[in-house]
Amino acid sequence: MTDVAKRGGAPVPAGWTYAPAPESTDIVRLQERYGLYVGGEWLETKEHFTTVAPRDESPLAEVAQASAKDVKNAVAVARDASAAWAALPGSERAKYLFRIARILAERSREFAVLESLNGGKPIKESRDVDLPLAAAHFFYYAGWADKLEYAFPNRTPRPLGVAGQIIPWNFPLLMLAWKIAPALAAGNTVVLKPAETTPLTALLFCDVVRQAELPPGVVNIVTGDGRTGAALVDADVDKIAFTGSTEVGKAIQRRLAGTGKKLTLELGGKAANIVFDDCALDQAVEGIVNGIYFNQGHVCCAGSRLFVQESIYEPVVDKLKKRMATLRVGDPLDKNTDVGAINSRMQLEKIEELVAAGKDEGAEIYQPPCVLPERGYWFAPTVFTNVAQSYRIAQEEIFGPVLSVLPFRTPEEAVEKANNTPYGLSAGVWTEKGSRILWMAERLRAGVVWANTFNRFDPTSPFGGYKESGFGREGGLHGMEPYVELT
Ligand code: NDP
């Protein structure tokens, strides 16, 4: 018997392969060229650039490169719109936010397909995570818009004015929702710059804004590269909200020092996922896989350092490797895909460089056998064992599907090692003891600590970091605070 084996008397195939289940892209109508969305209108620019699909490098559309002058104009338009928007009763602002939430939910398939096409993430993640969460953020902050006086008791919250918002490419629409929803609910207008490689869902969002009949100038989208982001930082905004690399975050902080502009930074991470020997092992392995291979590891809070208690080190690594072999890497638009395309050539090169450094420094690499497509940007799920704390792969943010495994013996040692990083965004703890979870959570220097789960998000729950992971919180009531002046 070659391709079937006997199990309990019934023949079953020895190996399963999934038939392709591609999601159709027909629902997405792309324009050949996009301008800037300012004051409810599309404005032309002198320069454009091409945005591509990372799965095959095919061009998708031409996108405007906003100059400093274009950005200045967008901010002026947002400024003009801000007094009327701030003066609306909160219940009116809520009405618009609820509309946006509902339209996002109604058009979620269209957005999910476009997100996967432009960003490379698996459709099942765009469909089941990014889109529901983006809509949920608008629903959630719509609920606060008319309750600000209860949100900040005995204080008077006032909007700041114009918020400049700069977002990265790993969760393009979700980061837009994290930024725009609280800003609008608090009565601010916004100018948002999406990342150069993933502008398309932000541009499609302009159509949602139009459909929701939001007053012109309340939401403005300016596309472009880092120069556009830098111009937004320098423009006449009252606040900058930035998510991205620690390097750019630091540059922005230096730039804003002494200007009086408010700033929140959500930067990189190198999260510790800590597995104790009393945990539910199979559940933990699922959490480890989700922690690092979700969204190809392009996640600021990814569990990229796995700390395993020494007594279960071997079985955890064995189980992990077996589980990795079942991950399906490939077309982001296939509904069976677990690990999609790397977002850009630049990011792929960064991952390759750090993986090469890991091998050179002496770590042992494992990648499950998988056939990577010829065109596009791909990287196989990777795990490193025999890693020392000082190796670059254990210290630097790789932002790819690459995990480093390190052993520990005692809870104290786990805390010591987990905190030995310049970052402090998130952590995970796997144990059956509630008291140990609390003991660890008190000592881990991380903004979020997940217990017996990983990468769980909810609009009601604040998210943000310590140290080089930034400051300020997004989500929950805490996420509203950076958008108001309290007197
Ligand atoms: P960046 O920090 O460069 O990008 C984030 C956003 O900032 C983008 O919109 C970017 O524009 C913009 N930007 C770039 N330069 C400036 C500037 N001088 N002033 C203002 N805005 C600017 O991240 P990268 O995309 O270059 O990724 C590099 C690394 O950063 C990744 O490998 C990863 O380690 C980390 N990263 C962390 C993220 C997180 O969520 N914490 C998210 C993304 C990346 P543009 O896209 O046009 O360059």
What per-residue confidence (pLDDT) applies to 448?
97
What per-residue confidence (pLDDT) applies to 9?
57
Among protein residues, the one whose CA lies closest to atom 32 of ligand 1: 399
Check if 354 has its Cβ closer than 6 Å to any atom of ligand 1.
no
Among protein residues, the one whose CA lies closest to atom 13 of ligand 1: 226
Among protein residues, the one whose CA lies closest to atom 29 of ligand 1: 245
What per-residue confidence (pLDDT) applies to 2?
41
What is the number of the ligand 1 atom nearest to the C-alpha of 166? 9
423 CA to middle of ligand 1, Å? Answer: 16
Active site amino acids? 266, 300
What per-residue confidence (pLDDT) applies to 14?
63
Q: Are 447 and 466 in contact (CB under 8 A)?
A: yes
Check if 166 has its Cβ closer than 6 Å to any atom of ligand 1.
yes
What is the number of the ligand 1 atom nearest to the C-alpha of 398? 34
Q: Are 483 and 182 in contact (CB under 8 A)?
A: yes
249 CA to middle of ligand 1, Å? Answer: 8
What is the number of the ligand 1 atom nearest to the C-alpha of 425? 41
Among protein residues, the one whose CA lies closest to atom 38 of ligand 1: 244
Check if 104 has its Cβ closer than 6 Å to any atom of ligand 1.
no
What is the number of the ligand 1 atom nearest to the C-alpha of 344? 25
What per-residue confidence (pLDDT) applies to 197?
98
Among protein residues, the one whose CA lies closest to atom 21 of ligand 1: 229
Check if 385 has its Cβ closer than 6 Å to any atom of ligand 1.
no
Check if 399 has its Cβ closer than 6 Å to any atom of ligand 1.
yes
Residues of the chain with pLDDT under 50: 1-5
pLDDT digits (tens, 9 = 90+) for 142-192: 999 999 999 999 999 999 999 999 999 999 999 999 999 999 999 999 999
How far is it, in rounded angstroms, from Cα 119 to Cα 376?
12
Phi, psi values for residue 482, rounded to 5°: -65, -10
Phi, psi values for residue 140, rounded to 5°: -65, -50
168 CA to middle of ligand 1, Å? Answer: 6
